[in-house]
Amino acid sequence: MRSGVKSGGRLRRYAITAMALVAGLIVVGRITGFLVDWLWFSSIGYVGVFWTILSARALIFAAVFAVSACAVWLSGILAHRYARGLDTSRAEAAGPSDATELTGDVVELIAPRIPWRSSIACVAVVSGLVIAASEISCWDIALRFIYQVPVGERDPIFGRDISFYLFSLPAYVALKNLLLRLTFCSAIAAGAVYGLRGDIALERPPRTLSPAAITHGSALLGLFFAVKAWSWWLGRFLLLYGDNGVVVGASYTDVHVELPVLWMLVGLAATSSVALLINMRRRSYRLPAIVALLVFGSSFASAVVYPALFQRFYVKPSELRLETPYIEHNIALTRQAYGLAQIAVQPFKAGEELTLDSLQTNRATIDNIRLWDLQPLMDTYAQLQEIRTYYKFLSVDIDRYQLDAGYRQVMLSARELEPAMLPPNAQTWVNQHLIFTHGIGVVMSPVTEKSTEGLPSFYLRDIPPASQGGPAIREPRLYFSEGRQDYVIVTGNVAEFDYPKGVDNAYTTYSGRDGVTIGSMARRSLFAWQLDDPNILLSGYITDQSRILLHRNIQDRVRTIAPFLSLDHDPYVVASNGRLFWIQDTYTVSQWFPYSRPGFGDGANYIRNAVKVVVDAYNGTVDFYVSDPDDPLLRTYERIFPGLFKPLDAMPLELRQHIRYPEDLFLIQAQVYRAYHMDAPEVFYNREDLWQFPRELVGMDGGSAASTMPPYYTIMRLPGDARAEFILMLPMVPSQRENMIAWLAARCDPSGYGRLIVYTFPKDKLVYGPFQIEARIQQNTEISQQISLWNQMGSRVIRGHLVVVPIENSILYVSPLYLRAASGQLPELKRVIAAYGDRVVMEDSLGEALAALFKKSSQTASPAGGTANARAREALAHYDRAIERLKAGDWSGFGAELDNLRPLLEALGAGRSGGDQK
């Protein structure tokens, strides 16, 4: 028996030792993580942000832990103190069978041996730790509550400033949930003590509750109903986030039924709370049961059943009339939440008046029609420009540059290092963390041009980057980029691989600003522990000057510094002043804007593109520039993190020329605007003018699938404007129809940045939509026969995206067509399809397609032969364009213009001969 006791004691000691060891490792991990983060934030100049967030998290943890642990401990210790307890002398003197015979419950054998005070303390500490850990994530809510700024707009129901909903209400709801959780945990702790002490006997008759248990239960239930009264008071404001299928926000039923019911429940819960506190002296177990039944029964009947019946039998028959003012609130505040209220609406005639002369006038638009789709171009880049297996193009970005050729839309991609693509025997720790440290350069090509082989022309290419009309790159190295970047150690006594150079390699040493010094043994040990990599400690290549580069992925870097910002999916690379930068669009979002329809993410219903983040690809410096200074969320964050944000004017001018309206935001806004462009309540209610995104055919021919047309960037001259500019646009079609009804544009150039315009078409006129043009392309016998022939000859035809090109007051459609060998990975741009009105052509190049399209147009629109003066003007226009194409080196376009010029000259010659004969 004694050996068994010793064995049990050893097991307890082992268990305690193991738990202490695990706890110690957790604490050490937290401390080392804190030290590494502190060193990293200090190295990049944002240590103030680190301390603000850490302090907020620590204070919330400490406060919640203290309150939670004290509440659970107090509830448990009071239950232990006032429980009537067991007859411990009888239980200890009796054998197991006797004790069971006395009470019928084995608990009577266990309870006297429980160290109550220490057990309650342990439960309180564990409960406090669990609750506090779950509340750490509320640091953002707490700081926004403390530093909130007024919005200056009020909600239409309660008349409160919108800031109450964005900042105060989330904090109140979080606090209410915490109090309910604490009440529940305190009740569990007290109930467990009373149950084990025999004060609660519910298993078999006589079922009893001790006076102490009734008193304690009444106090906890009274506290619960007090919190519940506050919860129902807050519930009044939560009505502004409802959705009954007609109105998002408070509806007629909410305002006229739910709101009075909630006030009634507040009073009922408060009265019940007082009654239960009085019951602490009367100690009746019936009163808590009656009160609970009354409150929850009333809640179900008045807050669930009655509103549903009222909605069905009173509101539904007169829904439009009754809900009209609430629909107006929904429309106005949703448009405000998504930045749609400032959209300018302009009519678009959508005529068919384009000629070759008008195309010449809009040369900037024609020269920037995008023929290269992202995936075919990335496949082509991979085959032509990756150079080595360990380089990788991860994405293709679209931007615009002022080049020698003019204002040009370009596509570019960063050549990133992919260490996983090194040969297996070369994937050593030294190679992956010390030698192969960075990517190099970008490739850049115009969106429209192609070679005679159907491959992209290049403004930037090769390693190191060679410019052929593109911007010069003096520092092409990419230590920070989009890929999955592990840490690297630089400035050691081993040279870094720079780029392949013939049979040899070029090497370099990092001289940028980034990095945490790890030369000392203490720091090497710290990072070896934190990164779980003993090589950092053991390597002989690390010197006193060595630095470690962390968070090298662009989005990870930005998210680590500013976790309160939401990130756009596509950071894009910019070549500026001889260097490479990344621009990352970020958003402030909220789920708490009243009367606004949730449109994205986890129920979020408010968004602003508040910050443009610029990351130096070599130095790793991160700068946050304010792009929407009126955003209340951002103004609050500026108060929380002073010095973090800079005004947009502080961004270097050359970089500012490359900011663009983010595609994610535009897509969200367009999605919401489909319904919320209707500002008349009756039209909105009936969904009479609901819009949709158009469909298009994309993919391998024969396997082409209909997909939703995405937004796309282009350079064009907006109707009525004097100059072409970079915009993001998306056509719209009516619900359940394919004809085009409007197109939405976002201006990207700095002079008009952020302005949204929707151009609406006449509703009494048919304007072909993208999918209708796709159908006409499919029905064109010449095009379908040619595609079938290619597919039978071992090639695969890839249908590119259809591009809608508004020119003046007309719509032109252009779609690229690629060929790829069945066993190859190199798509070639072989044909361009153009459509205008009811005419469709397919030619080798865009110039030839437009020439053929409008040659047919002129032949159809003019009498045969036309006047000599008209033919002369057209011939002169072809001649001028031929000279322009020749100067630009576009031989195919030059030839097409000459081909178009010949019949006009022949017709003029024939006319002159006829005149002479007369």
Q: What one-character-per-residue DSSP string does 183-207 give?
A: HHHHHHHHHHHHHHHTSEE-SSSSP
655 and 581 in contact (C-beta within 8 Å)? yes
Least confident of 91-105, 439-453, 890-904: 91-105
Same domain, 787 and 701: yes
Report the candidate in 168, 189, 219, 36 with the shortest Cα–Cα distance to residue 121.
Answer: 189
Q: Which domain holds residue 795?
A: 337-366+661-845
Q: Is the pLDDT of residue 109 over 70?
A: no
Instruction: Tell whether the torsion through CA atoms of 424, 426, 429 and 435 is positive or negative.
Output: negative
**pLDDT tens readout for residues 30-82:** 888 899 999 999 999 999 999 999 999 999 999 999 999 999 999 999 988 88
**What's the average model confidence in pLDDT over 295-304?**
91
Per the omega criterion (within 30 degrees of 0), is the bond before 206 cis?
Answer: yes
Residue 900 included in any domain: yes
Is residue 685 one of the residues assigned to a domain?
A: yes
Cβ-proximal residues to 501 (8 Å cutoff; 6+ apart), any chain: none
Put residue 491 in one of left, alpha, beta given phi > 0 → left and psi -120 to 50 → alpha.
Answer: left
For residue 887, the model assigns a pLDDT of: 55
Query: Any bridge partners for residue 403, and if so which?
Result: 406
DSSP conformation class of 506? E
The full 3-state SS of 319-385, as one line of letters, equals HHHHHHHHHHHHHHHHHHHCCCCCCEEEECCCCCCCCHHHHHHCHHHHCCCCCCCHHHHHHHHHHHH
Question: Which residues, 6 or more positions from 670, have their beta carbon under 8 angstroms from its beta carbon?
Answer: 693, 711, 730, 732, 744
Q: From CA 41, how far away is CA 560, in angstroms rounded? A: 9
Residue 738, domain member (yes or no): yes
Name the strand (E) or helix (H) holding 575.
strand 572-576
Whether 482 and 384 share a structural domain: yes
**Local structure of 452: helix, strand or coil:** coil
Largest CA distance in the chain: 142
- CB 71, CB 185: distance < 8 Å: yes
For residues 740-750, one letter each, b for 16 or more C-beta atoms within 10 angstroms of the residue's C-beta and e for the rest, the string is: bbbbbbbbbbe
Residues 474 and 503 in one domain: yes
Residue 887: inside a domain: yes
Q: Angle at which helices 211-238 and 286-300 pack, to 10 degrees?
A: 20
Instruction: Report residue 66 as tokens.
Output: 């203290």
How crowded is residue 85: how many other Cβ atoms within 10 Å of its Cβ?
A: 14
Please tell me whether residues 531 and 665 are part of one structural domain.
Answer: no
Q: What does DSSP assign to residue 426?
A: G
Q: Supply angle C-alpha 505, 508, 510, rounded to 5.
A: 150
pLDDT over threshold 90, residue 786: no
Confidence of residue 892 (pLDDT cuts 50, 70, 90): low
Same domain, 409 and 514: yes
What the block records as the tokens of 250 is 């408070």
Residues 579 and 713 in one domain: no
Percent of the chain with pLDDT over 90: 65
Same structural domain for residues 397 and 464? yes
Q: Three-class SS of residue 502? A: coil
Average model confidence (pLDDT) for the chain?
Answer: 87
CA separation for the pair 63, 59 (Å, rounded):
6
Residue 869's pLDDT is what? Answer: 58
pLDDT value of residue 545: 92
Locus of tokens 């190859």: 824
Determine contact, residues 681/770, Cβ cutoff 8 Å.
no
787 contacts: CB under 8 Å, gap ≥ 6 = 701, 797, 817
d(CA 808, CA 772): 22
Same domain, 670 and 793: yes
**Stretch 249-275: mean pLDDT:** 95
Looking at residues 569-581, what average pLDDT do you find? 96
**34 lies in some domain:** no
Average pLDDT over residues 403-420: 92
The pLDDT of residue 917 is 44
> How far is 102 from 697, CA to CA, in rounded Å?
82
Instruction: Please report, for residues 428, 431, 498, 505, 506, the alpha-carbon distance to residue 436 in angstroms, rounded to integers and kept in the order given.
Output: 10, 6, 8, 12, 12
Last residue of a domain, one of 659, 681, 704: 659
Q: How far apart are CA 765 and CA 784, in angstroms?
A: 29
Domain count, the chain: 4
Report whether pLDDT(503) > 90.
no
SS3 category, 489: strand
Q: 837-848: b or e for each residue (b if 16 or more CB lie within 10 Å)?
A: bebbbbbbbbbb
> What does the pLDDT read at residue 861?
43
96 compared with 346, residue with greater pLDDT: 346
Q: What type of residue sits at position 31? A: I
Instruction: Give the residue from 628, 659, 690 where a domain finishes.
Output: 659
pTM: 0.86
Taking the CA of residue 104 as centre, how many other CA atoms within 13 Å lie in the half-sphere pointing to its CB? Answer: 6
Is it the case that residue 870 has pLDDT exceeding 70?
no
User: Is there a single domain that holds both residue 585 and residue 461?
Assistant: no
**235 domain-assigned:** no
Confidence of residue 703 (pLDDT cuts 50, 70, 90): low
Same domain, 382 and 358: no
pLDDT of residue 96: 44
| Segment 802-834, tens digit of pLDDT | 999 999 889 999 999 999 887 777 899 999 999
For residues 612 and 735, membership in a common domain is answered with: no
Of 784, 818, 845, which one is at a domain's C-terminal end? 845
Q: Is the peptide bond before 464 cis (omega within 30 degrees of 0)?
A: yes
Q: Which of 233, 263, 259, 230 is nearest to 326 (CA)?
A: 259
Residue 799 · residue 792 · CB < 8 Å: no
Q: Is residue 904 part of a domain?
A: yes
Cβ–Cβ under 8 Å, residues 393 and 382: yes
Kindly state whether residues 613 and 527 are assigned to the same domain. Answer: no
Residue 212 inside a domain? The answer is: no
> Residues 735, 747: contact at Cβ < 8 Å?
no
**Separation CA 346–CA 761 (nearest Å):** 9
Instruction: Please compute the mean of the pLDDT values over residues 597-601 and round it to a whole number.
Output: 89
